[in-house]
C-alpha cells in the first residue's frame, strides 16, 4: 500500500487566485511526479523531480511551478488560476532502477476554476 | 517518440463475463506496468511485466507481454462490479525514470 497523500481532494476557486496543491509521501522515495489527467483519461506528465532541489518540466507544457525542498514534499503552485487549469492532478513517487522503478500514486486533486 | 494505444476505449460487460484489454506499443517494450483507476481516484499498481512471453496473475486478473514485446493484454475472468474502473498501461521511457501511459480503457460491469 502506497503512502502518498494529496490535499485538497477537491478545490473550486475563482479565476486569478493563487493555489498550491500539496503532495507528500512517507516512503522516502527520491523521485516524484505531477500528472494532469484530462477527461479522456490520458495522463500527461507536467513536472518531475529526481531528488531534493531537482525539478524538471514534463512533456506537457504547464503554467504551474513546483519545488522540492524536502524529500517527502512536492507541492505544485498556480500563481493565477484560469478555467483552462480545470483538471484532475495526480502526484506519484518512485524509487529504484529500471523496471523496479514502480510509480505509486496519490488519490488526486480535482481542481475546478470558475 | 513511443506511443501506447489501448483497445477497446470503453467496455461494458455483464457480471460474470470474461474480457480482454489490449495495449499496443509503437516501439519495443522493455517492460510494461498495468494500473487500475477507480473513478475520481488515483492509480493503483496491478502488476509489472518485463520479459517477452511473461504472464502474471493477481486474483482474477491476468496480464501477458507478447514474445515480440510490443503488445500486452490484460484479461479478467468472471468479471465483478468491483473490477469497474479505468485500466491504464504504462511503460518506462528509455534512459529516464519517466513513464508514458496508454490511452486508457474504461470498464463498466453490470450486476
How many percent of chain B have pLDDT more than 70? Answer: 100
pLDDT digits (tens, 9 = 90+) for A74-94: 999 999 999 999 999 999 999
Beta bridge partners of A104: A93
Mean per-residue pLDDT, B37-64: 92
pLDDT of residue A98 exceeding 80: no
Average pLDDT over chain A reads 92
CATH 3.30.420.280 fits B4-110, yes or no: no
Mean per-residue pLDDT, B66-92: 93
Domain ranges of chain A: 25-97+106-113
How many percent of chain B have pLDDT more than 90? Answer: 71
Is pLDDT larger for residue A60 or for residue A109? A109
CB proximity B13 to A under 8 Å: no
Query: Residue B63 in contact with residue B55, Cβ under 8 Å?
Result: yes
B48 interaction partners in chain A (CB closer than 8 Å): 99, 102
Find the CB nearest A108 among B42, B99, B103.
B42
CB proximity B38 to A under 8 Å: no
Find the CB nearest B99 among A6, A98, A103.
A103
Q: Which fold has domain A25-97+106-113?
A: Immunoglobulin-like (2.60.40)
Is B19 exposed, middle or buried (CB count within 10 Å of its CB: 0-12, 13-18, 19+)?
A: middle
Mean per-residue pLDDT, B21-32: 90
Task: Note the pLDDT of residue B97.
Answer: 79
C-alpha distances (whole Å) from B46 to each of A51, B30, B37 are: 26, 17, 10
pLDDT of residue B69 exceeding 90: no
Mean per-residue pLDDT, A7-27: 96
pLDDT digits (tens, 9 = 90+) for A22-55: 999 999 999 999 999 987 788 999 999 999 999 9
Task: Note the pLDDT of residue A1.
Answer: 56
Lowest-confidence pick of A15-24, B44-53, B71-80:
B44-53
Query: Residue A103 in contact with residue A91, Cβ under 8 Å?
Result: no
Query: Residue B25 in contact with residue B2, Cβ under 8 Å?
Result: yes
Query: A103 vs B45: CB contact, 8 Å cut-off?
Result: yes
Amino acid at each position: 500500500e502506497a503512502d502518498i497523500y494529496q490535499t485538497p481532494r477537491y478545490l473550486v476557486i475563482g479565476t486569478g487566485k493563487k493555489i498550491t496543491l500539496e503532495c507528500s509521501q512517507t516512503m522516502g522515495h527520491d523521485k516524484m511526479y505531477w500528472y494532469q489527467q484530462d477527461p479522456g483519461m490520458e495522463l500527461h506528465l507536467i513536472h518531475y523531480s529526481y531528488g531534493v532541489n531537482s525539478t524538471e518540466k514534463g512533456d506537457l507544457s504547464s503554467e504551474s511551478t513546483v519545488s522540492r525542498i524536502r524529500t517527502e514534499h512536492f507541492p505544485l503552485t498556480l500563481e493565477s488560476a484560469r478555467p483552462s487549469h480545470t483538471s484532475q492532478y495526480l502526484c506519484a513517487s518512485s524509487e529504484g532502477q529500471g523496471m523496479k522503478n514502480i510509480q505509486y500514486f496519490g488519490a488526486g486533486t480535482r481542481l475546478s476554476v470558475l | 517518440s513511443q506511443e501506447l494505444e489501448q483497445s477497446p476505449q470503453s467496455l461494458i460487460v455483464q457480471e460474470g463475463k470474461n474480457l480482454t484489454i489490449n495495449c499496443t506499443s509503437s516501439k519495443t517494450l522493455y517492460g510494461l506496468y498495468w494500473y487500475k483507476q477507480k473513478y475520481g481516484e488515483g492509480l493503483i499498481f496491478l502488476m509489472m511485466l518485463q520479459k517477452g512471453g511473461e504472464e502474471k496473475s493477481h486474483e482474477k486478473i491476468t496480464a501477458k507481454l507478447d514474445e515480440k514485446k510490443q503488445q500486452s493484454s490484460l484479461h479478467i475472468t468472471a468479471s465483478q462490479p468491483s473490477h469497474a474502473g479505468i485500466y491504464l498501461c504504462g511503460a518506462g521511457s528509455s534512459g529516464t525514470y519517466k513513464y508514458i501511459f496508454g490511452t486508457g480503457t474504461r470498464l463498466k460491469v453490470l450486476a
